[in-house]
Amino acid sequence: MFFSEKRLMPALSGLQNQMSMNPTQRESFDRNEAHARKIAKMVHLVHVSSTNEVSFDELLTEPPHSIPTSDHASYCSDATRRAEDLLGLARSAYFYAGRACPAFGDLALAFEPSIENGHTVSVSSIDTGGLVHPKRYIKCEVAGTDEDAARIEFGKDCEVKGSDWRGEFARFLAGYFEPLADYWKGRPAYEDPEKVFTLGDDCRAWTFEVRFAEPQLILDRVAWTAKKSQLELLRRKQAAQPVAVPGDPISVLDQFLNQPPLNPVGSDVFCEELESWIMTKVGV
Partner 1 sequence: MDNDKSWSLIDVNDVDVIGLAGSALVECGTSLPVIQRRSDKMFCRFVVGSAPLQWSPANELDRLISEGRISPFDSPVPLLLPAGSPQAEQPAVIYLNQEFMTQADVTLPAEIDGFPCTWIHLPKEAVATSASCLPKSIAEKLLDEWAEKLLTKLDEHLSEERSPASVERMLHLADLGLCAATDKSLRWRLYLRYGSSMAPDRVRRTFDSFIQREFPDCKWDFYLSEMKDVQKVIGSRGPVAAQRSPLSPIANKLHNIALCRDSERSLVSAGC
Residues near partner 1 (CB under 8 A) are 50-53, 55, 77, 79, 102-106, 130, 133, 135, 137, 184-187, 200-203, 227-233, 235-236, 238-239, 241, 243, 254, 257-258, 260, 264-265, 268-269, 272
By three-state DSSP, how is residue 204 classified? helix
Give dist(CA 103, CA 47) in Å, integer.
Answer: 10
- In sign, the C-alpha dihedral spanning 198, 204, 209, 211 is negative
Give dist(CA 132, CA 207) in Å, integer.
Answer: 16
Q: Which residues contact 60 (CB under 8 A, 6 or more apart)?
A: 218, 252, 253, 256
Bond into 23 cis (ω within 30): no
Q: Give the pairing of strands 223-226 and 107-111.
A: antiparallel
* Closest CB 115 distance from partner 1, rounded Å: 24
**Nearer of residues 65 and 133 to partner 1, judged by Cβ:** 133
* Closest CB 249 distance from partner 1, rounded Å: 15
* Closest CB 235 distance from partner 1, rounded Å: 5
Bond into 193 cis (ω within 30): no
Q: Which residues contact 274 (CB under 8 A, 6 or more apart)?
A: 46, 100, 108, 110, 223, 224, 225, 262
Which DSSP state fits 212?
E
**Nearer of residues 147 and 202 to partner 1, judged by Cβ:** 202
* Closest CB 91 distance from partner 1, rounded Å: 17
- Residue 67 identity: I
**Nearer of residues 44 and 204 to partner 1, judged by Cβ:** 204
* Closest CB 1 distance from partner 1, rounded Å: 35
**Nearer of residues 24 and 241 to partner 1, judged by Cβ:** 241
Q: Which helix (H) or strand (E) holds 96?
A: strand 93-97
**Nearer of residues 116 and 275 to partner 1, judged by Cβ:** 275
* Closest CB 156 distance from partner 1, rounded Å: 22
* Closest CB 269 distance from partner 1, rounded Å: 6
Which of 51, 44, 64, 184 is CA-nearest to residue 107? 51
* Closest CB 36 distance from partner 1, rounded Å: 20
**Nearer of residues 33 and 272 to partner 1, judged by Cβ:** 272
**Nearer of residues 1 and 265 to partner 1, judged by Cβ:** 265
Which of 268, 276, 279, 232 is CA-nearest to residue 105? 268
**Nearer of residues 165 and 277 to partner 1, judged by Cβ:** 277
